[in-house]
Amino acid sequence: MPTVDTVRGPVEVSDLGRTLMHEHVFVLSTEHLQNYGDGRWWDEEARVADAVAKLTALHATGITTIVDPTVWGLGRYLPRIQRIAGQVGLNIIVATGLYVYEELPHQYTYRGPGLLLDMPEPMVADFTRDIVEGIGGTGVKAAFLKCCVEAQGLTPGVERIARAVARTHAETGAPITVHTSGPAESGRLAIDLFGKEGVDLTKVVVGHAGDSNNVDYLMELADTGAILGMDRFGLDLFNPTADRVRTIATLADRGYADRMVLSHDANCFIDYFGAAHDEARAAVASNWHYEYIGDEVLPALREAGVSEAQLEQMLVHNPRRYFSRGTP
């Protein structure tokens, strides 16, 4: 039976169970935190305890795995996640890659093939190390790759990252989640590039596809074999829940339940909202939390005609298939 690496070590894919495919534990800027957080809006012990409580509550609802695409650009810091994973029952799967919409981090701008510091693509080396050896000396291995193609499209920096992700996928077999813009339909650009790079498109989640209700666009993506990330439930400002539900029900009715996964893109703490975090966030997006799908979305999907078997497909079988890989 194939296994997938989690923060606590390898788990058989058949044991992943009900899986939310795009949730963060924390979304931070490391420099913001280190320079402005302490004593103002960040208390390390309190934040860890809060995350343990929120993830424990999520686990109690029957979710047994979360897939966390927090990479460089979103404040990835594995020692903190390890502390939390050691105190919760659910599995946390972590990622490697880069979260930028336009420009490369300067650390890669001048290093690479044909650049000032001429060398093989350093991003491929760094991403591969995270997958094969583990992240930052923790021994925790990333199990998937993450990059972005936002409304700005394939800027030179974004394109270089996407190609590095594709090559790391080819070398390691790790699947890919790409952040896209639903309104700009940038999933098309990502899938086109990955296809040309020889990526197995059945191993690609088009993140935030569910921000779109253009069923023709979504079917076009799914027909390549890619998986649609219906993964921002609770972010009603990007697409109201009723519309997200109707779109999923339509696609399920047309036979696409095997190409969709569900999630919130939520977190325990994001460094936008200050010390009174949960109250400030609730004022902006009251439904944006880990338990909204269980509480409200699954009943709404059933009401819209989505069957129990289709829900199980989206929550259990599609994540299991995505993380099932042999050695390349």
Give residues in contact with Zn ion (CB under 5 A).
265
Q: How far apart, in Å, are the Cα atoms of 114 and each of 16, 91, 119, 164?
A: 43, 41, 7, 15
> Can you name the residues that pair with 94 across neighbouring β-strands?
68
How far apart are CB 23 and Zn ion at their closest, in Å? 8
Q: Toward Zn ion, which CB reaches closer, 18 or 232? A: 232
How far apart are CB 265 and Zn ion at their closest, in Å? 4
How far apart are CB 58 and Zn ion at their closest, in Å? 16
Q: Closest-CB residue for Zn ion?
A: 265
How do strand 144-149 and strand 176-180 relate by DSSP bridges? parallel
How far apart are CB 126 and Zn ion at their closest, in Å? 20
Q: Toward Zn ion, which CB reaches closer, 5 or 265? A: 265
For residue 200, give the nearest of 229, 222, 173, 164 by alpha carbon: 173
Q: Toward Zn ion, which CB reaches closer, 24 or 310? A: 24
Q: Toward Zn ion, which CB reaches closer, 130 or 265? A: 265
Q: Toward Zn ion, which CB reaches closer, 163 or 264? A: 264
Q: Toward Zn ion, which CB reaches closer, 144 or 310? A: 144
Match 């070590």 to its residue by tokens: 9
- Rounded Cα–Cα distance for residues 266 and 66 (Å): 11
- Rounded Cα–Cα distance for residues 235 and 287 (Å): 7
- 82 CB-near residues (< 8 Å, 6+ apart): 7, 138, 140
Q: Toward Zn ion, which CB reaches closer, 232 or 320? A: 232
Q: How far apart, in Å, are the Cα atoms of 22 and each of 19, 65, 137, 276, 309?
A: 9, 10, 25, 24, 21
- Rounded Cα–Cα distance for residues 230 and 277 (Å): 25
How far apart are CB 24 and Zn ion at their closest, in Å? 6
How far apart are CB 84 and Zn ion at their closest, in Å? 18
Question: DSSP letter string over 190-237?
Answer: HHHHHHHTT--GGGEEEETGGG---HHHHHHHHTTTPEEEE--TT-TT
How far apart are CB 161 and Zn ion at their closest, in Å? 16
- Rounded Cα–Cα distance for residues 307 and 31 (Å): 46
